[in-house]
Structures are given as C-alpha cells and as structure tokens.
Amino acid sequence: MRTTIHIILILVIGLVLGLGIRQIRKSERANGPGPGEEVFTDAGVDVDAVDPSDAENAAPSHPPEDEEWLSKFELTERSGKKVASEDLKGQPYVVSFFFSTCPSICVTQNQKLKELQDEFAGQGVRFVAISVDPETDTPEILREYAARFGADSEQWLFMTGDLGYIRRVGSEVFRMPVDKQFHTERFVLVDPKGEIEGFYNWPEKAQFNKLKEKIQEMISSSEKKAS
C-alpha cells in the first residue's frame, strides 16, 4: 500500500513541476527574447516600398572571354569521314542526341527519325544524330546501329567524336544540355543558313507534326529559290 502511495506522490510532483516549467517558458516568450538571442525579423522594413526591379539583373550573360564559343562543329560520321556544320548548309537538317546502348528512349526517338526519313525520302533535308557516348559509339558500332533503322547513308548521318567536344557542340552550338549517356527528348531544326529555327519535343504529337510542317515549308522554299 505504501509503495502505491509513493508512486502516486512522485507522479503528482512530476506533473506539478512540468506545469510550472511550462508556465515560466510562456512568460519568457511574452517578455521577448533573452540576452544574447539572435532574432530575424522584417520589422521596420516597408515591403511595399521595395522595387522588384532592384533585384533584376540587367546585364546579359556572355561567353567566357578566355575561350572560343563554338558556332560551328566538325565530327566523324559512321562512314569514318569528317563532316562539318559548313557541309550541312544549303538545306535544313534535324539534330538529335542519342547513344547506341540506350534501351528505350533512344530507340523510340530514332523510330521517330525513321518516320521523318520515310516521309521526306529523297528530299532536301538531312537528319544528324550525335552520340553522347562516343567511347562506345565508334564508327563501326554506329554503322551497325544505323542499319537497325534502315538509315540512308546520305540523308541520315550518325556522328561521333570526343565527349568533351560533343558537350560543347550540344550546349554552345545547339543550346542543348548533353553529357555522357544523357540528352533531352528534343529535335533541333536548323534552317538552310545554319541557324536554329526551333526546338521540338518529339514525344508530343502536336510538336512532332509541327516539325514536319516546318521541314516541308523549308524544302518548298528552297525549291522555289532554286527554280
């Protein structure tokens, strides 16, 4: 019996002490921070008076001055021959990035390019597929890979080179983030002058159809100028 009473007394004492400490802390908060405490507040700042333009950066970014910013490129085609961006001028071309060991996205992407090749077979447009795993994708490997899609050797080019250089080609020439075995799901349409016309997200049907329309417009325009 005595043991039970002692336990109850201990519990009651603990409860009373806990309530007392809680009340003391509440009182301290009401009186404000204690000495040495850091307080972060916007008191005294007129938020409405802050001009959003003060946070804007009006200065445009520029390429580093200590290295050349790529505006053209040269890579090795699956045939083993060097192909430069200057060689591609004169007709529109569609650029894509891929790698041969990619099991899913790249396969679907190249099936889309196969669809474009079939639709524009023998017409004035090229397709330029650039590997983002060049250590694996040698010209020999690319020849085998291209054959899987029935890629025409003149119209559909498969390119490889140095990974560091391909990173720069992607970001500086085509404004696309690429890295080893990494690329976006976009096609870049380049006009006959070598200027980027637009970026097309090929999984989206509307954008893919728009790409077809734009290619046809460019082909028709080139044919009119030639006649």
pLDDT at 20: 54
pLDDT at 146: 98
Q: In this structure, what token pair is assigned to residue 75?
A: 């890579």
Domains, in order of start, for the chain? 69-226 (3.40.30.10)
pLDDT at 58: 44
Q: What is the mean pLDDT of residues 20-43?
A: 47
Q: Which whole-number Å values give the CA distances from 172 to 53, 175, 178, in the listed order?
A: 29, 5, 11
pLDDT at 187: 97
Q: Report whether 62 belongs to an annotated binding site.
A: no
Q: What is the mean pLDDT of residues 74-89?
A: 97
Query: Does residue 39 register a pLDDT over 60?
Result: no
Q: How many CB atoms lie within 10 A of CB 28?
A: 11
Query: Does residue 103 register a pLDDT over 50?
Result: yes
Q: Report whether 178 belongs to an annotated binding site.
A: no
Task: With both helix axes pointing from N to C terminus, report the angle between 205-226 and 105-119 in degrees, rounded to the nearest 10.
Answer: 40
Query: Does residue 44 register a pLDDT over 70?
Result: no
Query: Does residue 67 register a pLDDT over 60?
Result: no
pLDDT at 17: 52
- Buried b vs exposed e over 52-89: b needs ≥16 C-beta within 10 Å? eeeeeeeeeeeeeeeeeebeebebbbbeeeebebeebb
Q: What is the mean pLDDT of residues 117-137?
A: 97
Instruction: Report the share of the chain in percent with pLDDT over 90.
Output: 66
Note if the pTM is more than 0.85: no
CA 187 – CA 42 distance, rounded (Å)? 48
Q: Report whether 183 belongs to an annotated binding site.
A: yes
Residue of 76, 195, 196, 64 lying closest to 139 (CA atoms): 76
Instruction: Report the share of the chain in percent with pLDDT over 70.
Output: 70
pLDDT range class, residue 47, cuts 50, 70, 90: very low
Q: Pick the residue with more confidence: 16 or 137?
A: 137
